[in-house]
Amino acid sequence: MKTETKETPVKGALIYQPQGAAGEYAKWAINLYHGCSNGCTYCYNRRGVLSHVFGDKPELAAPIIRKRDKLLNEYLEKNNMTAHDAIKKGVVDHKGLMATLDIISKDLEKIGIDRIRQDGGIFFSFTCDPFDIDADRFILQQVVLHLLFDRIPVTILTKNVHWLQTGLWKSTLRDLTTDYKDIARLLTIGFTITGKDKLEPGAPSTEKRIEALRKLHDEYKIKTFVSLEPITSIHAASDVIKETYKITDEIRIGAQSPIKKDRYDPKEFAGFVTAVKCIARFSKCRFQVKNSMYKQAEAFGGVYRDLCVRRLDEIREIYKSKQKEENDEK
């Protein structure tokens, strides 16, 4: 009898293959930072294996720090400069950027650019908010442009909106969508929107995130998505869909973990997925349901399990159909 061998995940210093539930989002990802100032009470990083190192402020990933410090020490010694002077003159930030780009270039060479392209590109991020107000905007911008101009699709998920008002990102998006439209098509930006601001005390309001989503979708013509995960309330989730399905390309829906039978009212959950199926069928927006939605349906058992699984299957079939239509048009 032939036994199947499990493929060992490929891993660079920064670029890696997400596993488990994260693997539903992307086949390749980069975490430039660990930690987040959004303060979401439901955050899996605060409960999981990274909880002991996951703080309220983003810290550069360890490989970047090691490389940056090596470059910095060499520079200080060569130029007879103190660390204090290096900080004042922006040398530390510059060496951080150089370290990041060097690591990513080596990772791309190791893994293979063509492989990453074929797998749908690179996702930012699972251990931070890439646009965290305390993160270095310039490092992210340079990394994203580096990948895009290598023709690697980039997907960014955030809760933050302040970056969209900065001159750096205004000019970046304007230049991409005006002078490099073929490159701009490779960029997708999404917002996590649960509709429950009280559970996300450090993040901008739902209203501001929807406003930013509309700006990217309607004004800049950037591909967008909404991450409606986790569903913290069926009513709030329904409102989010009503407010966003006309101003985004895709809505990704996931249940809250850990899965519990009494997490949601089964009748409300069934009504929700039925409504999503109807909107998915008659709107341009694609709806992607995560595996957690099936696990939640299974937890209900009985007739609600059967009804919900049937509706979720229908939503996935509609999603596949829309994807095929889009691919045929390219």
In a domain? residue 45? yes
pLDDT band at residue 288 using 50, 70 and 90 as cut-offs: very high
Give the number of other CB atoms < 10 A from CB of residue 86: 19
Assigned domain for 64 exists: no
User: Which residues lie closer than 8 Å to 281 by C-beta, 6 or more apart?
Assistant: 318
Count of domains observed in the chain: 1
Please report whether residue 228 resides in a domain.
Answer: yes
Residue showing tokens 């204090």 = 84
> Does residue 67 lie in a domain region?
no
Asked if residue 181 is part of any domain, the answer here is yes
Q: Are 134 and 58 in contact (CB under 8 A)?
A: yes
Give 152-209 pLDDT, tens digit per residue.
999 999 999 999 999 999 999 999 999 999 999 999 999 999 999 999 999 999 999 9
Buried b vs exposed e over 120-157: b needs ≥16 C-beta within 10 Å?
Answer: ebbbbbbbbbbbbbebbbebbbbbbbbbbeeebbbbbb
Rounded CA separation 23/254 (Å):
13
Per the domain annotation, does 75 fall within a domain? Answer: no
What is the distance between the alpha carbons of residues 213 and 47, in angstroms, rounded to a whole number?
Answer: 29
User: Structural domain of residue 131, as residue ranges?
Assistant: 15-56+119-323
Q: Which of 254, 242, 329 is nearest to 290 (CA)?
A: 254
Q: What is the mean pLDDT of residues 105-129?
A: 96
The verdict on residue 155 lying in a domain is yes
Task: Report the percentage of the chain scoring pLDDT > 70.
Answer: 95
Residue 315 lies in a domain: yes
For residue 231, give the CATH number of its domain: 3.20.20
